[in-house]
Chain A
Amino acid sequence: MANLTERAVGRSVARKDGIGKATGKAVYADDLVFPGMLHGRTIRSTIPRGRVRAIRRNFDPEGFTVVDFRDIPGKNVIALIDEDQPCLVEREVRHVAEPILLLAHADRERLLGADVALEYERDVPVLEPAASTVVFKQIHIEKGDVDANLASADVVIEGTYRTGAQEHVYIEPNGVVAVQEEGGLAVYGSIQCPFYVHKALVALLGDAVTHVRVVQTETGGGFGGKEEFPSVIAAHAALLALKSGRPVKIIYDRAEDMVATTKRHPSVVRHRTGVSRDGRIVTMDIDVLMDGGAYVTLSPVVLSRGAIHAAGPYRCDHTRIVGRVAMTNTPPNGAFRGFGAPQTQFAMEVHMDRVAEALGLDPVQLREINALRPGDTTATGQTLGSDCSALETLQRAVAKSGYAEKRARARDAQHGVGVSLFYHGSGFTGSGELRLASRAAIEVTERGVRVLTSSTEIGQGTRTMHAQIVADALGVPYESVEVAQPDTSRVPDSGPTVASRTCMVVGGILQRAATEMRRRIGDASPAEYFRAHGALRVEAEYEQPDWIRWDDETYRGDAYATFGWGCNVAEVELDPVTFEVRPVRLTAVVDVGKAIHPALAIGQIEGGSAQAVGYALLEHVVMRDGAMANGQLTNYVIPTTLDTPPIDVELVENPYPGGPFGAKGLGELPMDGPAPAIVNAIRSLGIDVREVPALPEVLLRDSLGRRGLHSARDRESITAAGR
């Protein structure tokens, strides 16, 4: 009975979340109340760089718990990749809002009213990544002979492209509650990766606790903003709980969350591209610079993914990608949906349109000529298989959107159309999945089976999709499958809920666990087996496909097991009075391998696209003296119902044989395409914009005093080398 008939997979089945989200019964971090609970507050640096000289507590200490770095039983670090980020400042300050002191009190007014005066010795902060001498990571990817082919190319096109920081604006801010229990500590919270928090707390608390348990509460949005950051807030609540002996809740308000937590890395990407007159890309020379903020956090991996995707879904025999992520004295940047790829693919896709302009080719035509096809190799030398869908998504999106007629319409209608083609590697890069060694388990119950993973439901449908995969892999009714709440004392470490891996990688492990369970229980139903034999738990571990070859040193080989592919066509209207851009329609054709739950898959594409519309047109992090100056939803604006265009989605299912039922990763791919498609649509109206956010103020600046696409300020010229 181990057949993989699809009964639940491929259908938009009733979700495992129940009705609680719609009735207000679902429990988020701030909904938790414990007896004797205290509230916590973080006292933060107000300068971007220097040393703390004195801390003066100007408040009546009665009822207060106060924690500084000396109260840390283990190591004063937030353990992640490097151990450079302290949990609490000892003396050196490296960014505004860096945590220095923690307070807790039962009365929130007393807590907020406590006056703490900080004195500093200030240093001059480094605020420009290009000027920074501290580089967290450098990457060099090379294929073929770039310099020789640049010299001999028919035409060389250069360009520089910029992307700004982006704030996640999950509607639920960060929040946790730490509670002591039987010599150990439990932390409940809005968390994407419970085992990341677990690891960080173990390092921080050392022998002070016998065990640490991390439990994910219903989480109101993550988008990467709750991937690594929760280790910080959890560490703070844990220290206060330990010292006070009471449960401690820390919930950030919106302003604190916006100013103090991670954002998307800003980037500057430079392209030099040699092409032949008939439109073939012969050589690409790409330079990527990212701003990592004050500490390493995940910057090496963001740079890695950004660099690997920097040459876009195009074939090119001679490619060089050089990347670096540098330190600045600003709050550390971190994971955000797309993780470097939206930045570099923005640059690639706008650059492609400039290449098309230089050659007099239609942007679609240029992409058709150069799109990767099965059998081609990527920049890292990975040979693509039949699961490569670049051309198919491009052609379908062009057809579906009516691109050709719309593009042919006169420009004076102020109606622009633009295209972008993009891809996104599923799962961790290279040997990352091997190192994670993720595990997932299934156990029989009296009602059926229970799924045990540390993968978190953050709105994308984890519970539902895992249950569907297990139901069909095991051959049991979907209704008989339940999914355990991620609690690190109960579930195995399935790796983080990031990198578009929750379906393809963790779902794949569950599929194997289900197959093994079926082998062990024979023809019985799980409930029958439980009644007859008692408990049975089957755990499986990640197995890397045996064909994957990757070299961490040279960055060559099979970067990802598979890629998702997508194409966006964006239609916009430009208001010549105000330079406002109204997105009119976005078409998204996306290859997901297999849509386990079509409605949830479409939800990822619609939602990710809307977030990218904000990235393209609205979302502007204003930094002043090293801190976000517009940390309010009034002033950092995300799309409302009236800012979001209708999004036409078409799913393509070109399966990846190694994924559960053919599924590829999906969560991040939709973020990669809309911004360049929108900017290319604006460009089609004659404004030479090369950055996001493409604010009206930017468009005004880029269009003042000239017509046409080649402005006097454009020092990066189009050159025709002799041939």
Chain B
Amino acid sequence: MQFTLNGRAVDVDAHPMRRLLDVLREDCALTGTKEGCGEGECGACTVLVDGQGVVSCLVPFAQVEGRDVRTIEGADAQALQRAFMDHVGAQCGICTPGMIMAAMSLGPDPTRRQMQEALAGNLCRCTGYEAIFRAISAAKRASRKTPLSVEVTT
């Protein structure tokens, strides 16, 4: 079945009812997406489908046909990733890929409330979430301060 995975066109042969989570981890060898509960409660398996965060333990593989799937391995999230380590937004790290994927839905200057709501479906047991908010705020600030670059348009 054809779909786009981390920006590349792929064709993966797997049973249509397999969980997207298992196809990613096993057939595509992308183990960055984690299983924490299998009930859609913890958010550790969050990936983006057509830009929207979903819990891949509850997505039938058939439903990503022709869609754009992004996992942590292909996420354009370097600022968030750097900030999560620098500001201890990740302690044990198991929730971190899902947390970062969910955080990608946030705008440039999120309030605490906005961060809470965007991440209400992602459980963390280590941090108490404070450092996650600090990391996201830092990443958003850092993204705004990207060095001036000259864009060449042709």
Question: Is A–B contact present in the complex under a CB 8 A cutoff?
Answer: yes
Report chain A residues within 8 Å CB of B72: 23-24
Chain B, residues 53-86, CB within 8 Å of chain A (1/0): the string is 0000000000000000001110000001110111
* B90 and A172 contacting across the interface, CB-CB below 8 Å: no
Q: How far is the CA of A14 from the CA of B85 in the complex (A)?
A: 8
Cross-chain contact B97 with A24 (CB below 8 angstroms): yes
> Which B residues from 34 to 56 make CB contacts under 8 A with A?
34-39, 41-42, 44
Give the docked Cα–Cα distance between A640 and B123 (Å). Answer: 6
Contact pick for A611, options B87, B96, B117, B125, CB 8 Å? B125
A97 to B129, CA, bound (A): 33
B12 contacts A by Cβ under 8 Å: no
The verdict on A603 contacting B39 (CB below 8 Å), with A171-B124, A171-B125 known, is no
Q: Tell me whether B38 and A607 are in contact (CB under 8 A).
A: no
Find chain A residues with CB under 8 A from B93 CB.
17, 20-22, 26, 218, 220, 459
Q: B23 contacts the other chain (Cβ, under 8 Å)? A: no
By a CB distance below 8 angstroms, the chain B residues around A633 are 36-37, 39, 41-42, 123
Produce 1/0 per residue, A669-713, CB < 8 A to B: 000000000000000000000000000000000000000000000
Q: Which chain B positions have C-beta within 8 A of A169? A: 123, 125
B contact residues around A646 at 8 Å (CB): 112, 130
Q: A30 an interface residue at 8 Å Cβ cutoff?
A: yes
| A56, CB-defined interface residue at 8 Å | no
A: number of interface residues (CB 8 Å): 55
Does A25 have its Cβ within 8 Å of any Cβ on chain B?
yes
Residue B137 is within 8 A (CB to CB) of chain A in the complex: no
Decide: B92 and A221 in contact? CB cutoff 8 A: yes
Question: Is A60's beta carbon under 8 Å from chain B?
Answer: no
Q: Mark A1-36, 1 if CB is under 8 A from B, else 0.
A: 000000000001011011111111111101100000
Bin chain B's interface residue count.
Answer: 35 or more
Interface pair A24/B92, CB less than 8 Å apart: no
Which B residues lie within 8 Å of A607 (CB)? 91, 125-128
**Are B35 and A22 touching (Cβ within 8 A)?**
no
Contacting residue for A23 out of B44, B81, B95, B131, CB 8 A = B81
Tell me whether B4 is interfacial, beta carbon within 8 Å: no
Instruction: Give B79 Cβ to nearest chain A Cβ, in Å.
Output: 11
B115 at the A interface (CB under 8 A): yes
Known contacts A459-B92, A459-B93, A641-B120; A22/B125 CB under 8 A: no
Chain B residues within an 8 Å CB radius of A14: 85-86
B126 lies within 8 A of A24 (CB): no
Taking CB atoms, residues of chain B closer than 8 Å to A58 are none
A254 interfacial contact with B, CB 8 Å: yes
The answer to whether B31 has its CB under 8 Å from any CB of chain A is yes
Complex Cα–Cα for A17 and B84 (A): 12
CA distance A383 to B116 in the complex (A): 46
Closest residue of chain B to A632 (Cβ to Cβ) is B39
- Chain A residues near B81: list those with CB within 8 A: 19, 22-23
- In the complex, A606 Cα to B135 Cα: how many Å? 14
* CB of A106 within 8 Å of the partner chain: no
A459 to B84, CA, bound (A): 13
Cα-based distance from A221 to B124 in the complex (angstroms): 10
- Residues B34 and A220 in contact, CB atoms below 8 Å apart: yes
B38, B85, B93, B119 — which one has the most chain A CB atoms within 10 A of its CB? Answer: B93
Q: A24-B73, A24-B97 are in contact. Are A606 and B131 (CB under 8 A)?
A: yes
Q: How far is the CB of B78 from chain A (nearest CB, A)?
A: 9
Question: A172-B36, A646-B130 in contact; A22/B41 too (CB < 8 A)?
Answer: no
Q: Which residue, B25, B32, B71, has most C-beta atoms of chain A within 10 A?
A: B32
Cβ–Cβ contact B128 & A644, under 8 A: yes
Given A17-B85, A22-B93, A172-B94: A647 and B130 within 8 A (CB)? Answer: yes
- The residues of B that contact A31 with a CB separation of less than 8 Å are 25, 31
**Contact status A610-B94, CB under 8 Å:** no
- Is A606 a contact partner of B73 (Cβ separation < 8 A)? no
Contact B94 A171 (CB under 8 A): yes
Please name the residue on chain B nearest to A633 by beta carbon: B41
Contact with B along A641-660 (1 / 0, CB 8 A): 11010110000000000000
Q: Point out the residues of chain A lying under 8 angstroms from B44, CB to CB.
A: 171
6 further A-B contacts with Cβ under 8 Å, apart from A253-B35, A253-B38, are: A15-B88, A17-B90, A22-B96, A31-B25, A607-B128, A640-B121
Q: List 12 A-B contacts (CB under 8 A).
A: A18-B85, A22-B96, A24-B33, A28-B94, A459-B92, A461-B88, A606-B130, A610-B129, A640-B120, A641-B115, A641-B116, A646-B112
What 9 A-B pairs are tightest by C-beta distance, nearest first? A24-B32, A21-B93, A220-B94, A459-B92, A610-B128, A459-B91, A606-B128, A22-B81, A633-B41
